[in-house]
């Protein structure tokens, strides 16, 4: 007997699902009745999020990773499918070596009461769902997860088939950056990258005048907007509501819901406008995190990785494959800085960086000191590494770059690359010494 079967006749909803696969393995009588399911056999093999939330993917706010045996996580949730508020208690149990999520959902509304179907109540329920979305999204650890949670809640609240966010890219097209799909609805995100500017041109003209887009019947735009008609028709969209996303009074994209029922279209735009402010806030926060990450791991002058990036990169190296390291030092930087100024010195460093990028594109490139650069090639043959070093020296001659170069290679990448880096550095210093000896230049002035 499974432990959750003790809840079979409990007057609250109980279900169990496999934490690793999300397969729904149990619903008690109360839960089956509430969802209109006659037998557990009807949902055999289905995912918990498919049956309980009508989602095509795991719930964005899923707390499986936080569950611990012997402990309960308690929270509140409004379920738009059942039109009810629940007090939730979640835990995890182990049975026959498998870990299962067990959830008890206590009806928080008055016994036997469900919300009426009037327009006012329906809008209030959607508004409550939106507030719930904000509450859960604000607790998410990342802006990306916050955005996914909001899209999921909006999709459920408006009973749409798909919700999404599009953002303008550097080429002027639109990228579908986030998406939620209901059960049985095919994802469109991968096919909607860099959508040509002209496809949504009419929408952006409306956005510039602070107008949103409501399409009750797709056939209404067949003649007036044929490009968008073809785009939406291909996705099996027959109706939608889309609102613009503004940053500094400029439309930077849009988000919306596909195929909501007619009863939801009339107030969908209001809900979307309200939540749009939160979405823009999340996008700004996401962009700031990206910028800080770039600043943390990138050299500001050249754009190459810094020492922190090198350390992180080396942890990803495949130890079963070969590893080649090319250690470079720009010669003459001190003299250029002293005689021509630091601006020219920076130009010298950028030229050196560009030489490395031309020859070692696709490999790890780093600036690890004032005048020191590193190329790290995992899986390269000794012959290929020698060839690239030769090409680097030729490229330096052609572009007036002078660097001392040290090169090391091993057939199997070591777990700790410090010794290999030291060997490459020694080879570089040897090459530098030979350069000074050959040219007769006083290295102390260089």
List strand residue ranges (DSSP E) for 331-381, in order. Answer: 364-367, 372-378
- The domain locations on the chain are 3-107, 119-295, 307-445
pLDDT category at 440 given cuts 50, 70, 90 is confident
Q: Are both 3-107 and 307-445 of the same fold?
A: no
Mean pLDDT of 297-304: 94
Q: Residue 209 in contact with residue 183, Cβ under 8 Å?
A: no
Using the structure block, give the residue that is written with the tokens 């209901």: 182
Quick one: tokens of 90? 């979640």
Question: Coil, helix or strand for 10?
Answer: coil
Predicted local confidence at residue 87, as pLDDT: 87
Q: Residue 162 in contact with residue 182, Cβ under 8 Å?
A: yes
> 52-66, 125-139, 200-214 — which is least confidently predicted?
125-139
395 burial (CB, 10 Å; 0-12 / 13-18 / 19+) is middle
155 burial (CB, 10 Å; 0-12 / 13-18 / 19+) is buried
Predicted local confidence at residue 293, as pLDDT: 87
Q: Helical H runs in 58-179?
A: 119-138, 143-157
Q: How far is the C-alpha of 333 from the C-alpha of 403, rounded, in Å? A: 10
Q: Residue 20 in contact with residue 99, Cβ under 8 Å?
A: yes
* Dihedral angle sign, alpha carbons of residues 214, 218, 220, 222: positive
Q: How far is the C-alpha of 165 from the C-alpha of 159, rounded, in Å? A: 17
Higher pLDDT: 326 or 438? It is 326
214 sits in the region (left: phi over 0; alpha: psi -120 to 50; else beta) called beta
Predicted local confidence at residue 78, as pLDDT: 77
CA atoms within 13 A on the CB side of 358: 16
**pTM exceeds cut of 0.75:** no
Q: Residue 136 in contact with residue 149, Cβ under 8 Å?
A: yes
CATH architecture, domain defined by 307-445 = 2-Layer Sandwich (3.30)
Predicted local confidence at residue 199, as pLDDT: 98
Give the CA distances from residue 221 to residues 12, 204, 230, 265, 320, in Å, rounded to whole numbers and listed in that order: 48, 15, 10, 17, 58
Beta bridge partners of 93: 100
CATH of domain 3-107: 3.30.450.20
Residue pLDDT, tens place only, 302-323: 999 999 999 999 999 999 999 9
Residue pLDDT, tens place only, 351-407: 999 999 999 999 999 999 999 999 999 999 999 999 999 999 999 999 989 999 999
Q: How far is the C-alpha of 407 from the C-alpha of 424, rounded, in Å? A: 5
Phi/psi of residue 45, nearest 5 degrees: 85, -5
CATH of domain 119-295: 3.30.450.40
């Amino acid at each position: 007997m499974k432990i959750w079967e003790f809840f079979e006749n409990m007057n609250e909803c109980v279900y169990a699902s496999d934490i690793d696969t999300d397969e729904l393995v149990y619903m008690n009588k109360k839960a089956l009745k509430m969802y209109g399911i006659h037998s557990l056999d009807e949902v055999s093999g289905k995912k918990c999020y498919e049956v309980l939330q009508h989602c095509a993917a795991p719930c964005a706010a899923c707390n499986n990773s936080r569950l611990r045996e012997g402990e309960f996580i308690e929270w509140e949730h409004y379920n738009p499918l059942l039109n009810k508020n629940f007090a939730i208690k979640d835990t995890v149990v182990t049975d026959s070596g498998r870990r299962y999520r067990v959830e008890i959902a206590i009806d928080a509304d008055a016994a036997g009461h469900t919300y009426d179907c009037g327009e006012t109540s329906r809008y209030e329920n959607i508004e409550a769902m939106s507030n719930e979305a904000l509450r859960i999204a604000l607790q998410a650890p990342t802006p990306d997860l916050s955005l996914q949670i909001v899209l999921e809640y909006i999709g459920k609240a408006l009973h749409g088939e798909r919700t999404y966010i599009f953002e303008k890219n550097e080429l002027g097209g639109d990228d579908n950056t986030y998406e939620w799909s209901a059960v049985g609805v095919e994802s469109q995100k991968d096919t909607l990258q860099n959508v040509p500017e002209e496809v949504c041109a009419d929408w952006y003209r409306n956005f510039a005048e602070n107008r949103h887009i409501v399409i009750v019947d797709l056939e209404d735009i067949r003649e007036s907007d044929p490009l968008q008609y073809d785009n939406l028709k291909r996705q099996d969209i027959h109706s939608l509501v889309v609102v613009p996303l503004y940053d500094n009074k400029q439309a930077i994209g849009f988000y919306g819901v596909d195929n909501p029922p007619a009863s939801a279209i009339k107030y969908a735009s209001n809900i979307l406008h309200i939540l749009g402010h939160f979405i823009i806030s999340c996008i700004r926060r996401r962009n700031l995190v990206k910028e800080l990450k770039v600043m943390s791991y990138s050299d500001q002058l050249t754009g190459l990785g810094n020492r922190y990036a090198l350390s992180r990169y080396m942890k990803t190296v495949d130890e079963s494959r070969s590893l080649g390291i090319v250690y470079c030092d720009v010669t003459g930087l001190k003299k250029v800085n002293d005689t021509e100024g630091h601006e020219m010195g920076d130009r010298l460093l950028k030229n050196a960086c560009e030489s490395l990028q031309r020859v070692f594109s696709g490999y790890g490139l780093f600036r690890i000191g004032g005048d020191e650069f590193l190329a790290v090639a995992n899986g390269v043959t000794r012959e290929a590494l020698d060839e690239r070093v030769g090409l680097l020296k030729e490229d330096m001659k052609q572009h007036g770059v002078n660097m001392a170069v040290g090169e090391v290679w091993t057939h199997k990448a070591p777990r700790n690359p410090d010794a290999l880096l030291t060997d490459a550095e020694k080879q570089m210093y040897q090459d530098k010494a030979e350069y000074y000896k050959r040219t007769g230049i006083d290295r102390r002035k260089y």
